[in-house]
Structure 1
Amino acid sequence: MLSNDTDPIVAIATAPGRGGIGVVRLSFGRAGEAAAQKAMHALCAQALAPRHASYVPFVDGTGEALDRGIALYFPAPHSYTGEHVLELQGHGGPIVLQLVLQRAIEAGRDFGLRLAEPGEFTRRAFLNDKLDLAQAEAVADLIEASTEAAARSAGRSLEGAFSREIHTLVEDVINLRMLVEATLDFPEEEIDFLEAADARGKLTRIRQRLDTVLADARQGALLREGLSVVLAGQPNVGKSSLLNALAGAELAIVTPIAGTTRDKVAQTIQVEGIPLHIIDTAGLRETQDEVERIGIERTWGEIERADVVLHLLDARAGATPEDHVIAARFPQGVPVVRVMNKTDLAGEPAAVRDGDGDTREVNLSAKSGDGIALLRDELLRIAGWQAGAESVYLARERHLIALRAAREHLALAAAHAEHQSQVLDLFAEELRLAQDELNSITGEFTSDDLLGVIFSRFCIGK
């Protein structure tokens, strides 16, 4: 857990290492304007005009300049944290920044200034209603974004696009709850309630909107987390060649000798901005080689954790009994794509078609590259990606869990509405539970323990 949320705090707000500019940020908490004025005089040797950039020396305890740079003072509540904030923007050398930081702590001893903990500035922005919880998480996601698409989606979340969708859903649920609660107060009207108030229609529209938000959030989660794709199959079917083809580089050793790959080789690539974590694994077969056996055990461990399994087969031989044994061990619920490799040797064209059950088949040649684009498209299809979906916002696993839970509660509410006895008290309870799940996304209903976990993962100074 973080320390007192009203303590004055200070931290270096820029990344570690050397740079052209470095920032030391102070937020004064309960100490307020008086402490801010003391800090200005101690660090800048003068008072600062609010929201004006002032070029000043940053001085030590004797008045000697440690550095010169831009000082900015933001009085509460018009600052990032909602408190009085002072930012000192100087040169980005680690030594000079540490000197300024130590001087700030020394000057702030009399009003309790301490080092900020990870994410504490943004936590205060949340606690002071400058950001809701989804927006606060988007700050960290924007910093950590590894693709342009992820950065743009995090920006939409930070601007409040995701939060607005959640607030609209909450308002719709509240309006429906008001109708239900009012009817419970007047039981003589209960029989006609569902028809007269169009409660079923309102609930249906809420559920449809929630499904749309959940679909967009799923895509946003893919942008943030990516998709774990495991290459599995018998030895010498071309798994390493396929990894190299997907990555566009010679990452794995390729030889005609079975058992060349004995441990996993991982590489992250991007397709339409989605990170795909491709994992090449040891060939699956019976073996007496101890090292290869350990590699095969690790292969099955990776398959258990996969989001997608690419089951590679040699197109010349087709599915052998050994391949069927391997396929039977794949975990339930994990999408499997059967990849018929070496079509250049089999004389077959690249293609995508339906296989057995829910399995899809892709014919390709990892060696020539023919059909690789089809496989990328199939992975995007499994991911649920929609090209040009500008409504996508970066989402986290906890958001998806809350949205799915809300969907379940709304489904139960619909079941109660359709029940012959029309049990309105149970209908109302499921609506309340759905509202609580939605509110947890933006922080209107969130435990302190969860807040501690979320903000502890931020970088220091943010």
Structure 2
Amino acid sequence: MAHQPHAGRRSAEEEPPVGAGAETIAAIATPAGRGGIGVVRIAGPHAQAIAKAVLGTVPEARHATLGGFLAADGAVIDRGLALFFPAPHSYTGDDVLELQGHGGPVVMQMLLRRCVDLGARIAHPGEFTQRAFLNERIDLAQAESVADLIDASSAEAARSAARSLDGEFSRRVNALVGAVVDLRMHVEACIDFPEEEIDPEDIEAQRRKLAAARAQWKALLAEARQGAVLREGLTVVLIGRPNVGKSSLLNRLAGEDLAIVTPIAGTTRDHVRATISLEGVPIHLIDTAGLREGGDEVERIGIARTWSAVEKAGAAIFITDASDAPHSDEDAIVARLPADMPLVRARNKIDLAGGVSGSAPIGRGIGLSLSAKTGAGVDLLRDWLLQTAGWQPHGEGLFMARERHLVELEAAGRYLAEAGNESQVFELFAENLRLAQQALGRITGEVTADDLLGEIFSRFCIGK
């Protein structure tokens, strides 16, 4: 009786399955530097041949195999575990081999070079995940969530990215696509059979379907916006005249002494940056040079950089000294801020002025009375930061979203709104529905330009 190969394995001479990558790629999949474990990942049609040359055999599929990793002359480069995942049931959809050895940079480079000598090439950033997308193992939104999970700056962001990787965001998008397609079928039937009289009940059914789709879109957009907040966070500049307590407030919010605090005006000459996490939302704080006329050349350069930071920020905290008389240039500083920038005017040092913490409308923005020294009123500022960032309570179940996802969702919403305006002209109605469907398809990659793929995957780390 002829020997039967192990289920899920092919001989190294067999052709790779349709859809597998044409080239074999390899990369170190663990971070640079020393570590207890290092992983070299190989994917492509020559993965089995590389396994046979390095290990002496092709490991049993999806079973950890202990062995030596052999150089060309038979010397042992390292000893470790090998894992083999045959196509198409692997991360990329190709044959995938992972060699898990000791995490020294020299031994990892030796092992990678051995794989290259055996026919692999060095993988580009994100190329393993790109192959997973191209081989339809994951869609584009899931592929992006891989990078988001790696880059997550809080536990909440990591959980949201994991939900996106599991397909939650994609399922919501595809459900909306299904609703739009269902409506398109009814509308295009009216176009295909113009001689048929349209039942008024059918027209009303179309309107109900469109209203339901728009409600579904509205809920999806709101959740995507909150998911984007968890990913991107909010950049906030702290501005004001010298010695009003900007650095003290930064230190209070950050919970540690990051900025030098002295009674000497103009101590901060350049930006001091800190990122804090409020309810899982990253808040990027920038303490800037005090704004005033005069000063030496270094201080003037710092003030110019302050205004440059203001232009790039998403919100501003304008700090004044509650224990000092108002200055004539304060209104001019506020007037110079971008008109649409969220602003809080924080009256600091109420511990010296004898005031109490609280909030009140104050012309443009909102006024807060607080003390960076004692912490009084700082919780009100934290609440304002969360509100400005778009955070909402009860965000459990959120998925991660990116700016491009929001752009496509907003475009889909415009097309759905236009479809409602053209509901009596079936050709225009159907065209707007088609455009909405295309915009949604660009989120998951069903409709994707090659240059977009290059931009997305180039931001991944090598080995992923």
Same fold (TM over 0.5): yes
Is residue 433 from structure 1 mapped to residue 435 from structure 2 by the alignment?
yes
Alpha-carbon deviation of 1:355? 2.9
Greater mean deviation of Cα atoms: 367-376 or 386-395: 386-395
Go from structure 1 to structure 2 and tell me whether the alpha carbon gap of 1:50 and 1:429 turns closer, same or farther (over 3 Å shift). Answer: same
Q: Name the structure 1 match of 2:15.
A: none
- The one of 9, 29, 36 aligned to 2:25: 9
Q: Name the structure 2 match of 1:119.
A: 126
- The one of 367, 372, 375 aligned to 1:369: 375
Alpha-carbon deviation of 1:42? 0.5
Secondary structure of the 1:198 match is helix
Go from structure 1 to structure 2 and tell me whether the alpha carbon gap of 1:178 and 1:150 turns closer, same or farther (over 3 Å shift). Answer: same
Secondary structure of the 1:6 match is coil
- The one of 73, 78, 88 aligned to 1:67: 78
Contact 1:183 1:193 in 2 (8 A): no
Q: Name the structure 2 match of 1:459.
A: 461
Which amino acid in structure 2 is aligned with residue 311 of structure 1? F
Q: C-alpha separation between the residues in 2 aligned to 1:247 and 1:40?
A: 50
- The one of 396, 401, 413 aligned to 1:395: 401
Q: Name the structure 2 match of 1:99.
A: 110
Go from structure 1 to structure 2 and tell me whether the alpha carbon gap of 1:65 and 1:205 turns closer, same or farther (over 3 Å shift). Answer: same
Unaligned stretches of 5+ residues in structure 1: none
Is residue 407 from structure 1 mapped to residue 418 from structure 2 by the alignment?
no
- 1:321-340 matches, within 5 Å, as 321-340=328-347
Alpha-carbon deviation of 1:124? 0.6
Is residue 22 from structure 1 mapped to residue 24 from structure 2 by the alignment?
no
Alpha-carbon deviation of 1:356? 2.0
CA RMSD of aligned residues (A): 1.9
- The one of 278, 287, 292 aligned to 2:294: 287
- 1:270-349 matches, within 5 Å, as 270-287=277-294, 289-316=296-323, 320-349=327-356
Secondary structure of the 1:361 match is strand
Q: Deviations 1:306-338 (Å, cap 9, x if unpaired)?
A: 111111122345765422111111102211111
Q: C-alpha separation between the residues in 2 aligned to 1:54 and 1:166?
A: 41
Q: C-alpha separation between the residues in 2 aligned to 1:193 and 1:331?
A: 51
How many residues get paired?
Answer: 445
Alpha-carbon deviation of 1:397? 1.3
Go from structure 1 to structure 2 and tell me whether the alpha carbon gap of 1:287 and 1:7 turns closer, same or farther (over 3 Å shift). Answer: same
Q: Name the structure 2 match of 1:45.
A: 56
Q: Deviations 1:148-205 (Å, cap 9, x if unpaired)?
A: 1111111111101111111111111111111111112233557656863422222222
Go from structure 1 to structure 2 and tell me whether the alpha carbon gap of 1:285 and 1:423 turns closer, same or farther (over 3 Å shift). Answer: farther
Q: Name the structure 2 match of 1:445.
A: 447
Q: C-alpha separation between the residues in 2 aligned to 1:143 and 1:322?
A: 45
Q: Deviations 1:366-419 (Å, cap 9, x if unpaired)?
A: 1111111111011101112123311211211111111112122222222323xx
Contact 1:184 1:190 in 2 (8 A): no
Which amino acid in structure 1 is aligned with residue 250 of structure 2? L
Contact 1:179 1:197 in 2 (8 A): no
Q: C-alpha separation between the residues in 2 aligned to 1:319 and 1:68?
A: 71
Unaligned stretches of 5+ residues in structure 2: 1-19
Q: C-alpha separation between the residues in 1 aligned to 2:112 and 2:363?
A: 64
Contact 2:190 2:198 in 1 (8 A): no
Alpha-carbon deviation of 1:346? 2.5
Alpha-carbon deviation of 1:460? 1.0
Is residue 84 from structure 1 mapped to residue 91 from structure 2 by the alignment?
no
Secondary structure of the 2:329 match is helix
Which amino acid in structure 1 is aligned with residue 114 of structure 2? R
Go from structure 1 to structure 2 and tell me whether the alpha carbon gap of 1:215 and 1:190 turns closer, same or farther (over 3 Å shift). Answer: farther
Go from structure 1 to structure 2 and tell me whether the alpha carbon gap of 1:413 and 1:190 turns closer, same or farther (over 3 Å shift). Answer: farther
Which amino acid in structure 2 is aligned with residue 263 of structure 1? D
Secondary structure of the 2:41 match is strand
Q: Name the structure 2 match of 1:185.
A: 192
Q: Which has the higher helix share?
A: 1
**TM-score, with length taken from structure 2:** 0.91
Greater mean deviation of Cα atoms: 211-220 or 368-377: 211-220
Go from structure 1 to structure 2 and tell me whether the alpha carbon gap of 1:40 and 1:282 turns closer, same or farther (over 3 Å shift). Answer: closer
Go from structure 1 to structure 2 and tell me whether the alpha carbon gap of 1:235 and 1:188 turns closer, same or farther (over 3 Å shift). Answer: farther
**TM-score, with length taken from structure 1:** 0.91
